[in-house]
Amino acid sequence: MFAKTTSFLAIAAAAGVLMAAPALAQTRTNIQIAGSSTVLPFASIVAEEFGQAFPEFETPVVASGGSSGGLRQFCAGVGAETIDIANASRPIKASEIESCAAAGVTDIREIRIGYDGIVFASSANGPDFALEPRFVYAAIAANLPEGMAQPTLWSDIDPSLPAQRIVMAIPASNHGTREVFEEKVIFPGCEAVMGEGTDHEVCGALRQDNVTEIAGDYTETLARLASDSNTVGVFGLSFYEQNTDTLQVATMSGVTPSLETVASGEYPVSRPLFFYVKGAHIGVVPGIEEYVQFFLSDAMAGAGGRLEAAGLIPAPAEETAQTLDNFMNGVSVGQ
Amino acid sequence: MTEILETEAAANDRRRAQVRKSLARRNGAETRFKMLGLASVLAAMAFVAVLFGNILMKGVPAFWQYNLDAEVYFDPAVINLPERPVRQAGQSEADFRAEMLGWQRRLALVNWNRLIVAAVENAGSGVEVDDRAAVSIIDSGARFVLRDMVAADPALIGQTVPVRLLLSADGDNWAKGKLSRDLPDNRQQLTRPARDAIDALIASGAVHPAFAWHIFTNVDSRASPASAGLAGAFMGSFYMMLVVILLAVPVGVASALYLEEFAPKNRVTDLIEVNINNLAAVPSIVFGLLGAAVFINIFHLPLSAPLVGGLVLTLMTLPTIIIATRSALRAVPPSLRQAALGIGASKMQMVFHHVLPVTFPGILTASIIGVAQALGETAPLLLIGMNAFVANIPATPLDQSAALPVQVYLWQGNENRNFFEERTFAAIIVLLGLMILLNALAIWLRTRLERKA
């Protein structure tokens, strides 16, 4: 009897939830965000503070998945089962705008939240590095000009560099960081070494013997540095600032990365960070407009705000004001 | 005669010598085998000891965090608030709620950091700290602690109340000595005045470690890392286990009963049996992919919901329960069945009145071990979006949520050192504690029920 009643109850319960769920999913009351793992810490902080500051709205849920993964979910269509906001560490691509339009997502509002620096860091106990894009290219490129041997030690490239074995841990191509690393370091370095106008296909080929591509988080890169102290890793500036006791940062073209040098544009390896809002969901899912305003407020993304303390480099006030203006006036990057 | 006797005695001696010789060899082999076995057990124990020692050593300190016993003055000049609204006679529910929301909004906008700065300055460290340094010592979640105190009791405004404020993650790291004191200022997280103030307050006893209950009562947080907790992940895991128990156990036991007691033995049931055994060996991540495709894309169940996680884990646990239940049923002696049938019981009565009660302990153990296995499963949950950052305790299995093993994964990847160092291991300890509890429950129930049966 016991087993009979319980199994009946269980089947009834299962049938009940399966039928009730789609109906419940239609009426979503919290903002749903997904995308770049670089933007995730900032978006999570704002989401939490938003939930605390606005008692009438629920705390938004922030998922990762990378810039491309987030935009793919974003472009899946309009409706409660699709996300409202996609975080991205790069601007949306034309191809993504097209696939968005094909699924009916035409009102896409771009929000630029600030800047992020990309730093080269090594073990705090090792020697100092003063890097240039051409040094980094020469260290890890598969294609070098004829007559130039592939270096083993950093000092083989330039006598100013330490006599340390070349090992680098760089972000894998699923990270938006990889694109910036190539555009701001590898390609300029390639032009300096191989000559102007070298094909990007040629430049982008890296050596396999001394480069590790990290698909996971920065903590994985940090673990590489701990296991092989010769490793030079690529990190976000915010991660480096949280771990200054174990990491030391290399200068790039003579500039030390910091909030100030990235904000002023002196430090070359930086990029803007974005999120994209689905216009069709504004007014349907409660709180989206308030979330955007709150995110761009001085207390969050502004100079001296919560996000600056977490490592985001604030955009100039006029730029933020322009971004907010565009959002409120419904300026869309979609088709 | 004597010759024959002699040769017989000699032969016996020879035989004895031979046996004695081989006995030594055989005993030697046994000793060696025993030693080998013992060595394996010791090696296994050593591995477990290293693993547990490592986890406990890193995780246990996370359960004690430094606090500041502060006197907080709820300054009416800072908390500039109207009276908390009271529902007037004749006021509609909606109006009252709107008025209440407005009041809560104003409460949220109060600059609570001003009270914290004043409290740190008055704590008697004797060190001159600026506002920024004072705020950096205390966890940013303290703002909401003070706000909630006023929301609960507006009469506090104008009073001075002792409040225990949690130190920030950086402050806690410094107080625990996790950061080298020899590092130069530019490589420290806190400014020199802030560090000196913490040291002075520890010396005066105002800053001291206390058990971190909030690890169990708070939800995950990135904005205030020192007060992040496991409550949301715990409830997520709880709902998932509820779904698994409600679905996997009855369905698994019923299928095992049918296959073992009622189903005809033919090619179809053989095929089913082979498939169940295969299903038990399918890697868990495959169930995650299946769950994402079926429950989310076809049934449109919400992402990151414990219900979906529970359904996926049910699929994963089913074969384990079916196989264990069937072997328990097979262990019941046929005489019991024949006796029941012999005195006129129907097949159904035979199964439910005689066979099932005897196998109950075995089924229960199998179910609990299956559930414990499901509790620790991570890979399939990542594929159905349970790795999102959710700062809420789920109220129903349909709300978005994290889960304990996923929380371990998320904290491990967090950039704050107090997460990827100690807090990850604290979460592992909680998860392991739950597992050990479940397994102990299984053993206790089995011995109790077996004695009864």
Spatial separation of the C-alpha atoms in residues A188 and A182, rounded to whole Å:
9
**Phi then psi for B442, rounded to 5 degrees?**
-60, -45
Q: Looking at beta carbons, which residues of chain A come within 8 Å of B356?
A: 3
Min Cα–Cα distance to chain A from B41, Å: 31
Report the residue from A21, A47, A56 with minimal CB separation from B398.
Answer: A21
Of the candidates A118, A130, A122, A127, which has an alpha carbon nearest to the alpha carbon of residue A225?
Answer: A122
Out of A12-26, A123-137, A196-210, B291-305, the most confident range is: A123-137
Give the pLDDT of residue A167: 93
Give the pLDDT of residue A10: 47
Q: Is B322 exposed, middle or buried (0-12, 13-18, 19+ CB in 10 A)?
A: buried
Going by pLDDT thresholds of 50, 70 and 90, the confidence category of residue A246 is confident
**What share of chain A in percent tops pLDDT 70?**
92
- How distant, in Å, are the alpha carbons of A210, A248, B153 from that of A168? 6, 15, 57
Min Cα–Cα distance to chain B from A32, Å: 10
Interchain CB distance below 8 Å, A62 and B388: yes
Going by pLDDT thresholds of 50, 70 and 90, the confidence category of residue B443 is confident
Min Cα–Cα distance to chain B from A195, Å: 39
Strands (E), B20-159: 64-73
Instruction: Indicate if the pLDDT at residue B82 is higher than 90.
Output: no
Q: Looking at beta carbons, which residues of chain B come within 8 Å of A38?
A: none
Spatial separation of the C-alpha atoms in residues A240 and B50, rounded to whole Å:
31
Interchain CB distance below 8 Å, B101 and A44: no
Instruction: Indicate if the pLDDT at residue A283 is higher than 80.
Output: yes
Quick one: closest CA in B to A53, which residue?
Answer: B108
| Highest CATH level, class, for B231-452 | mainly alpha
Q: Looking at beta carbons, which residues of chain B come within 8 Å of A306?
A: 140, 223
Interchain CB distance below 8 Å, B250 and A48: no
- Average pLDDT estimate for B199-219: 92
Q: Where are the domains of chain B?
A: 2-60, 64-216, 231-452
Instruction: Indicate if the pLDDT at residue B418 is higher than 80.
Output: no
Give me the amino acid identity at B299: F
Higher pLDDT, A16 or B249: B249
Of the candidates A246, A253, A260, A292, which has an alpha carbon nearest to the alpha carbon of residue A60?
Answer: A292
Instruction: Indicate if the pLDDT at residue B429 is higher than 70.
Output: yes
B385 contact A CB<8A: yes
**Phi then psi for B334, rounded to 5 degrees?**
-60, -25
Give the pLDDT of residue B317: 93
Mean pLDDT of chain A: 86
Spatial separation of the C-alpha atoms in residues B119 and B349, rounded to whole Å:
73
Interchain CB distance below 8 Å, B389 and A10: no
Quick one: closest CA in A to B184, which residue?
Answer: A245
Lookup: tokens for A154: 């950093």
Please report the ipTM that was assigned to this predicted complex.
Answer: 0.81
Spatial separation of the C-alpha atoms in residues B400 and B232, rounded to whole Å:
10
Interchain CB distance below 8 Å, A9 and B246: yes
Mean pLDDT of chain B: 89
Going by pLDDT thresholds of 50, 70 and 90, the confidence category of residue B307 is very high
Q: What is the pLDDT of residues A48-80, one digit of tens each?
A: 999 988 888 999 999 888 888 899 999 999 988
Task: Provide the b/e sequence for A140-178 (b: ≥16 CB within 10 Å).
Answer: bbebbeeeeeebeebeebeeebeebebbbbbbeebbbbb
CB atoms within 10 A of CB A297: 17
Give me the amino acid identity at A59: T
Give the pLDDT of residue B7: 82
B179 contact A CB<8A: yes
Q: What is the pLDDT of residues B358-403, one digit of tens each?
A: 898 888 888 888 898 899 999 999 888 888 888 889 998 988 899 9
Quick one: closest CA in A to B143, which residue?
Answer: A52
Interchain CB distance below 8 Å, A22 and B299: yes
Q: Looking at beta carbons, which residues of chain B come within 8 Å of A56?
A: 101
Q: Who's near B1: CB < 8 A, 6+ residues apart?
A: none
**What share of chain A in percent tops pLDDT 90?**
43
- Give the three-class secondary structure for B175: helix
Instruction: Indicate if the pLDDT at residue A6 is higher than 90.
Output: no
pTM above 0.95, yes or no: no
- How distant, in Å, are the alpha carbons of A331, B120, B121, B162 from that of B206? 54, 10, 12, 11
Give the pLDDT of residue A19: 45
Give the pLDDT of residue B39: 97
Domains in chain A: ranges and CATH = 28-115+272-328 (3.40.190.10), 117-270 (3.40.190.10)
**What share of chain B in percent tops pLDDT 70?**
98
